Homo-oligomer: A and B are copies of this chain.
Amino acid sequence: MALEASLAQLSIAQVSAEGASATKTLVFKPKTAKTAVPVPVVVVALQTTQTPAGAIAAAAGVKEPRLAKEDLVQEFFGVAPKEFSPASITKEHAGKIKLLVDQAITETGAYELSTESAKASIAGKDLIGYLQSTGVEIIPVDFSAAPAPTPAAAAKKAATAPKKNDAALDAKLIGVTVDKFLDFPGWYQQILTKGEMLDYYDVSGCYIMRPASYAVWEEIQDFFNKRIKAMGVKNCAFPLFVSQRVLEKEKDHIEGFAPEVAWVTRAGSSELDEPIAIRPTSETVMYPYYAKWIQSHRDLPLKLNQWNSVVRWEFKHPQPFLRTREFLWQEGHTAHLTFDEANEEVLQILDHYASIYQDLLAVPVIKGKKTEKEKFAGGYFTTTVEGYIPATGRGIQGATSHCLGQNFSKMFNIVVENPEGPDKPKLHAWQNSWGLSTRVIGVMVMIHSDNKGLVIPPRVSQYQAVVIPVGITAKTTEEQARAIKEGAKDIEATLKKAGIRAIGDYRDNYSPGWKFSDWELKGLPIRLEFGPKDLEKKSVTVVRRNDSKKYNVALDDLTTEIPKILDQLHHDLFAKAKEAFDTHRVVVENWDDFVPALNAKNVILSPWCGEMECEEDIKDSSAKRNDDEEEEVDEKAPSMGAKSLCIPFEQPELKEGTKCVKCGKKAINYTMFGRSY
């Protein structure tokens, strides 16, 4: 029975998600004798409820329940697992299945049911009433009795007493069970972990970058290394540790970082004489040596970069890639004779950052300058690329390129004789620092991915294409089956030879459908299906991950067509993200329109006076909850005000006499504001 019909049957008129709790509906197959007819176990539970196999086994009185394969779900309920919902249960199933319902689902609650193609909300009494009406016996289960591990706790448990435990089984569920627009943080976590990009770790705020995400980082490293080496920048490695004395040398700078610095105080069983800091960034680590190495104006420019990790022990809620206590980045530190030279480099680097986002990750960004309030602590000015996350309507800082001016060179005495003569005053170097972190990966994931899992842009994806043999059934002759498999392997080899990062999936124990879902979850840009018809026609079916668009490509054209398809995919991802950003970047001239525009998931371009007090006022005023216009943006940041994101280099025309959107003083530019990460 189709979901639409079922929903009608449930008499659900409104399909709004207002206040409804998300649910999941899962089908398990218990271990049974081969000759016995299987009795599926259906579990209806809150999405946030952990449903370990052990609890299911105990409640249903079965052995080793495993998530049912597609075949079984299709056979029993007439739908694919991804379209399965409580509406798929009918009177036909009475006595043939076991039905476990989470006790957290109550008659008084409101619930969101969702499948891949549809979703609807329903009152608890209607949901339970419907299930009762089918005649299937309902077994209520208190899953909370066995305390549900949080992801961090689960990781901790795995770390300390690893077991083939039920949580691990639950984590293996194929398919994302959370909706991107209903529970963004839950969705983000699921696609990262189920897509095998990242895992949680038993030290809070630290995460494991699995090969799928590290490969993205390696592509970025290659790209950026080529660019900066062409500019004369050289890579190097400074120590992880910094002494307290050196760290605290620049006052404004350390004030910005001090609350987040991790301190080593003990080695083995010995207390250190002096605690030693782990670098939160390397300005004060490096600049004493710049002072030593730069003796003459001929030693300038000095341009160094490092790829390393830094530690900022934040106490705010951590989020993979976006806010982590340790993160990988590159930090460039350069010293120049003149401001002009330093300034030129700041902008060149910013262009490279924009290029990483746009040309590699298919993510549109806006280039601009930070306000005084938001600039780098101790620097002269900060430039930035700013992105936008459509699902939450929040802005996100992409990467920053700072001109430090002469502040640090004065602190650290980075000084050279005047080239015009020893009688002229000595010159302090003009310095820059610039950094881009693994945050980029989080931004990329948030923007492109969907309810089927990750969508990774082709230029950075670990694998760009997966080849899957299809259409082998019981009727297929052995010879034909072999020809299909060999053909698929040939395709994989041809692609690899052409420099395309291809992988073949020839596993015998999974159906093609299962494999499709698996690779969709992992976000591979395209899959190539090779079956009997393709064999006959000497072609292959190519399916794009992002929109399921299909192509038929002749085998002879593989090496020319597949790169084109990948390239087009990149541009289409970019265009889609750009449209979302462009339509949600609105010009607001009057304060009355400001908060409503924010609440409609926009970032805002407003004429602004440039004063720090006004900026703080904007943040406070857009965060107030006693204003009727206010709504929660998301659960993790319920009352967040708008920060300035940047003063874009590309400005709307500022007409004579335009006033600041907030304070009414003379506006000096248009500034981009938004709720942000």
A148 at interface, CB cutoff 8 A: no
One of B209, B288, B304 near A202 (C-beta < 8 A): B288
A289 contacts which of B199, B260, B291 (Cβ < 8 Å)? B199
- Is residue A14 within 8 Å, beta carbon to beta carbon, of the partner chain? no
For A342, the chain B residues whose CB sits under 8 A away are none
A313 CB within 8 Å of chain B? yes
In the assembled complex, which residues on chain B have CB atoms less than 8 Å from the CB atom of A275?
266
Judge whether A381 is part of the interface by a CB distance below 8 angstroms: no
Knowing A202-B288, A263-B265, A292-B158, say if A163 contacts B239 (CB, 8 Å): no
**Interface assignment of A309: CB less than 8 Å from any CB of chain B:** yes
A202 to B288 alpha-carbon distance, docked (Å): 10
- For residue A174, give the distance in angstroms from its CB to the closest CB of chain B: 13
Q: Could you tell me if B203 and A276 are in contact, using CB atoms closer than 8 angstroms?
A: yes
A201 interface residue (CB < 8 Å to B): yes
A162-B413, A208-B236, A240-B309 known; A261 and B265 CB under 8 Å? no
Evaluate contact between B266 and A259: CB separation under 8 angstroms.
no
Residue contact A163 to B413, C-beta cutoff 8 Å = yes
Please determine whether A328 and B246 come into contact, CB atoms closer than 8 angstroms.
Answer: no
Chain B, Cβ-Cβ closest to A309: B240
Indicate if the CB atoms of A164 and B295 lie closer than 8 Å.
yes
Count of this chain's copies in the oligomeric assembly = 2
The residues of B that contact A259 with a CB separation of less than 8 Å are 268-269
**Which of B172, B207, B263, B267 makes the CB contact (< 8 A) with A239?**
B207
Q: Flag the segment in A121-129, A132-140, A211-219, A549-557 that touches B.
A: A211-219
Question: Residue-by-residue, is A223-256 near B (CB-CB < 8 Å gives 1, otherwise 0)?
Answer: 0000000000011111111110110010000000
A415 within 8 A of B: yes
A292 engages B240 (CB within 8 Å): no
Contacts of A668 in B (CB 8 A): none
Q: Number of contacting residues on A, CB 8 A?
A: 74
Which residues from B are CB-within-8-Å of A209? 236-238
Partner of A214, one of B172, B236, B267: B236
Which residue of A207, A240, A278, A415 has the most chain B CB atoms within 10 A of its CB atom? A240
A210: interface (CB < 8 Å): yes
* Residues of chain B contacted by A215 (CB below 8 angstroms): 234-235
A206 to chain B: closest residue by CB: B239
- Contact call A267/B263, Cβ cutoff below 8 A: yes
Nearest CB on B from A16, distance (A): 39
**Contact between B235 and A211, CB atoms less than 8 A apart:** yes
Q: Is the CB of A241 within 8 A of B208?
A: no
Known: A239-B207, A241-B206, A289-B199. A160 touches B246 (CB 8 A): yes
Contacts of A266 in B (CB 8 A): 262-263, 265, 275
- Report chain B residues within 8 Å CB of A295: 164, 168, 172
Contacting residues, chain B, for A269 (C-beta < 8 A): 259
From 32 to 84 in chain A, residues with beta carbon under 8 angstroms from any chain B beta carbon are: none
Q: List chain B residues, Cβ under 8 A from A509.
A: 298
Contact partner, A203, options B241, B298, B325, Cβ 8 Å: B241
A266 to chain B, nearest CB (A): 4
Is residue A166 within 8 Å, beta carbon to beta carbon, of the partner chain?
no
Known A264-B264, A266-B275, A507-B298; contact A208-B162, beta-carbon cutoff 8 A: no
Complex Cα–Cα for A268 and B509 (A)? 52
- The answer, yes or no, to whether A258 is at the interface (CB within 8 Å) is yes
Please tell me if the beta carbons of A267 and B260 are within 8 angstroms of each other in the complex.
yes
A288 engages B159 (CB within 8 Å): yes
CB distance from A319 to the nearest CB of B (A): 15
CB within 8 Å for A288 and B160 given contacts A234-B211, A262-B267, A268-B313: yes
Least CB distance from A204 to B in Å reads 10
**A581: interface (CB < 8 Å):** no
Known: A259-B268, A266-B275, A267-B313. A292 touches B168 (CB 8 A): yes
Known: A159-B246, A246-B159. A208 touches B263 (CB 8 A): no
Q: List 12 A-B contacts (CB under 8 A).
A: A160-B246, A160-B249, A162-B413, A164-B415, A168-B292, A203-B243, A203-B276, A206-B240, A239-B326, A260-B267, A264-B278, A268-B315
Top 7 A-B pairs ranked by shortest CB distance?
Answer: A162-B291, A267-B313, A211-B234, A159-B288, A206-B239, A259-B268, A209-B237
